[in-house]
Amino acid sequence: QKEVEQNSGPLSVPEGAIASLNCTYSDRGSQSFFWYRQYSGKSPELIMSIYSNGDKEDGRFTAQLNKASQYVSLLIRDSQPSDSATYLCAVKGYSTLTFGKGTMLLVSP
Amino acid sequence: EAQVTQNPRYLITVTGKKLTVTCSQNMNHEYMSWYRQDPGLGLRQIYYSMNVEVTDKGDVPEGYKVSRKEKRNFPLILESPSPNQTSLYFCASSLSLADLRFFGPGTRLTVL
């Protein structure tokens, strides 16, 4: 059974700070990794994908991948109250996407 | 507008009464999938379909059936619902699994 682990949180940060969200995965052969944002009661929204070791930046979001350590992270710079949500890490297998349980982020004004 | 629709959005039913949750996409996507989401357990895959007439089990298929007779529709069938199937259900579709970005709005099911 492939596992994707995330700290459930909540992670609390003040407005304007950097939020750092972490994810580890068990399948060393995994090649594709995704971050989703989910507001309470809403459907998940894909915000980042990463396939290669290193950093990938998109606006205020940076995804980081370290395959040797089986570790994926998401940094959110200049955090805003509207970023308050649950962030889901997902790892692609051959024909399925396995999600972590998510980390709740709370950004206080 | 590109979208995935699910119906019903909310349903309260009783144990043993067969029900179907419909899922439809208008993007000609090959891949479709059903997930359930429960507090503390995250999103778990029930069934998926790589193409018409091709379906396979996900991580939690017990008590569910699906069919994929046409590309746009992927209904989820609960033949004899039980209270442990009370959950929030999401349907999703994509051209490929590498870009699973289209989720339906969710169906909140309560089985009494």
Cβ B106–A34 below 8 Å, yes or no? no
The strand pairing partners of A55, in sequence order, are A64
Q: Compare CB distances from B90 to A1, A43, A96 and report the shortest one's residue.
A: A43
Going by DSSP bridges, is the β-strand pair B87-94/B65-66 parallel, antiparallel, or unpaired?
unpaired
pLDDT tens digits along A6-40: 998 899 999 999 999 999 999 998 989 999 999 99
Instruction: Round the average pLDDT of chain A to a whole number and report it.
Output: 94
Average pLDDT over residues B63-72: 96
SS3 A50: strand
User: Residue B92 has what pLDDT?
Assistant: 96
- What residues in B contact A42, CB-CB < 8 Å? 105-106
pLDDT tens digits along A68-78: 999 999 999 99
Taking phi over 0 as left and psi of -120 to 50 as alpha, with beta for the rest, A5 belongs to: beta
The residue with tokens 């297998």 is A93
Cβ B43–A1 below 8 Å, yes or no? no
User: Residue A2 has what pLDDT?
Assistant: 77
Cβ B106–A42 below 8 Å, yes or no? yes
